[in-house]
Each structure stands twice: as structure tokens, then as C-alpha cells.
């Protein structure tokens, strides 16, 4: 998919993530915050016809091809689109679902156990200073946990994101106020492990793009 980018619908209803994430949060987060990044990205790309055939992940990876005066605004807005699309896709309403098969084995190999993965991931999300994201990434085919500020993405030719949590205040403040740790803890109940497991399997293969399937 490329220019003009379109706002993707949520893959579930707005109240599907309750009680962990309120309907009101999902409306603001998807309809206002995420949608605004799509609008802004299209506004920028309107002025650069030669960039309009690039996909979202190409805009974020092939930054050498971007004009210097637009690099920052493209990174922020394409990042805002990519990060939100992955964040929304990584959640669903099925309670207590667990990672399976090869992803479960890889999590155990990299972090010792699912419980240890959860505590490391939660620490990355809680300790990210200010706005940003915590990520489970494939870096040269190894699982790692990292955090990024603002709308930066970890995308590169060798780094492929599997899962992310948005820790901007708009992601939780209406329901959790300053209690980011409670939001992160509850959010683990929302992880769509089927999606993350399928993504892990496809990104372990060579030469696949990091585009987020709809």
C-alpha cells in the first residue's frame, strides 16, 4: 500500500478491549491520534510525487531517498502511522491467550520464560521516559526488547518489529491517569498472540517486507 495512505479500521469493535482499554480511549486513539498521522503524511507526500510510490515501510527504512527538508516530518508521521497500525493489530479481545509453537520456543530461548519476557517488556514500557513505545523485535532473527521515543520506529533492513505497546499518555490517560504500570500490566491480557506468532513466522523468512497485514 502507498500514497494516498488510508486510515485502517480497527480489526475489532471499539468496546472489544474492555475492561482493559475503554471504548472512549479507542475512539480518541484511533479516530483522532492515529488518523491525524495518516492525514499529515499524505499532506507531506503531496509535495513529493517521486516518493508517492514508496510503501510505508520503505519510507521508514530507505531514508537516504528522502529529501533532507522533509526527513524529520516523514519519520514522525510515517512512524506515527506504522506504529499505530502495528499497535492496534497486536491486540484483540481474547483473554489469556498465550504464544504458541515456534514463537513460544523463541521467547523461552531468548528470555528464559514467558514470565521473564513479560517483566522485561513491562520494564521497557514503564521506564521509557516520556512518550514512545516498547517493542518486541527480531534483530538479525533474534528476539529482543527495546524502547523508542516519540514516533520513532526500530525498522531497518535487519530489525523487524513483531509487537509494540504505545506508552504515549493518550494511549491510557483517560482510564489510567498517571498509572502507566497498571495500563502495561493489563495490556498483556490484550496481546493477539496469533497475529504476533504468524508475523514471527513470516518475518523469519528471507526478503519479506515488514508491512503490516490487514
- Give the residues lining the site for Mn ion (CB under 5 A): 33, 166, 168
Cβ 141 to Mn ion shortest distance, Å: 28
Cβ 133 to Mn ion shortest distance, Å: 9
Cβ 175 to Mn ion shortest distance, Å: 14
Q: Which is nearer to Mn ion, 106 or 147 (CB)?
A: 147
DSSP-assigned letters across all residues of 67-124? -GGGHHHHHHHHHHHHHHHHHHHTB-S-TT----HHHHHHHHHHHSSHHHHHHHHHHH
For cell 513466522, the residue is: 201
Q: Which is nearer to Mn ion, 85 or 197 (CB)?
A: 85
Cβ 7 to Mn ion shortest distance, Å: 14
For cell 491510557, the residue is: 172
Cβ 69 to Mn ion shortest distance, Å: 26
Q: Which is nearer to Mn ion, 135 or 168 (CB)?
A: 168
Q: Which is nearer to Mn ion, 36 or 139 (CB)?
A: 36
Report the phi/psi class of residue 207: left, alpha or beta, with left for phi > 0 and alpha for psi in -120 to 50.
left
Q: Which is nearer to Mn ion, 118 or 170 (CB)?
A: 170
For residue 147, which of 114, 163, 112 has the smallest C-alpha distance?
163
Q: Which residue is nearest to Mn ion (CB)?
A: 166
Cis bond before residue 47 (omega within 30° of 0): no
Q: Which residues contact 29 (CB under 8 A, 6 or more apart)?
A: 84, 166, 170, 171
Amino acid at each position: 500500500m502507498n500514497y494516498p495512505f488510508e486510515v485502517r479500521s480497527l480489526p475489532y469493535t471499539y468496546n472489544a478491549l474492555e475492561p482493559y482499554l475503554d471504548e472512549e480511549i479507542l475512539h480518541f486513539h484511533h479516530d483522532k491520534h492515529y488518523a491525524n498521522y495518516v492525514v499529515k503524511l499524505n499532506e507531506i507526500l503531496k509535495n513529493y510525487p517521486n516518493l508517492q510510490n514508496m510503501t510505508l515501510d520503505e519510507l521508514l527504512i530507505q531514508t537516504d531517498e528522502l529529501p533532507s527538508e522533509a526527513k524529520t516530518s516523514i519519520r514522525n508521521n510515517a512512524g506515527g502511522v506504522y506504529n499505530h497500525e502495528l499497535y492496534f493489530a497486536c491486540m484483540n479481545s481474547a483473554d489469556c491467550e498465550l504464544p504458541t509453537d515456534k514463537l513460544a520456543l523463541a521467547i523461552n530461548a531468548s528470555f528464559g520464560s514467558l514470565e521473564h519476557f513479560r517483566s522485561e517488556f513491562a520494564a521497557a514500557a514503564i521506564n521509557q521516559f516520556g512518550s514512545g513505545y516498547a517493542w518486541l523485535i527480531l534483530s538479525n532473527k533474534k528476539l529482543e526488547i527495546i524502547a523508542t521515543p516519540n514516533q520513532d520506529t526500530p525498522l531497518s533492513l535487519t530489525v523487524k518489529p513483531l509487537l509494540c505497546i504505545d506508552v504515549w499518555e493518550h494511549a491510557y490517560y483517560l482510564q489510567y491517569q498517571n498509572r502507566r504500570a497498571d495500563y502495561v500490566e493489563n495490556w498483556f491480557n490484550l496481546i493477539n498472540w496469533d497475529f504476533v506468532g504468524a508475523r514471527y513466522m513470516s518475518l523469519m523468512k528471507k526478503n519479506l517486507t515488514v508491512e503490516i497485514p490487514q
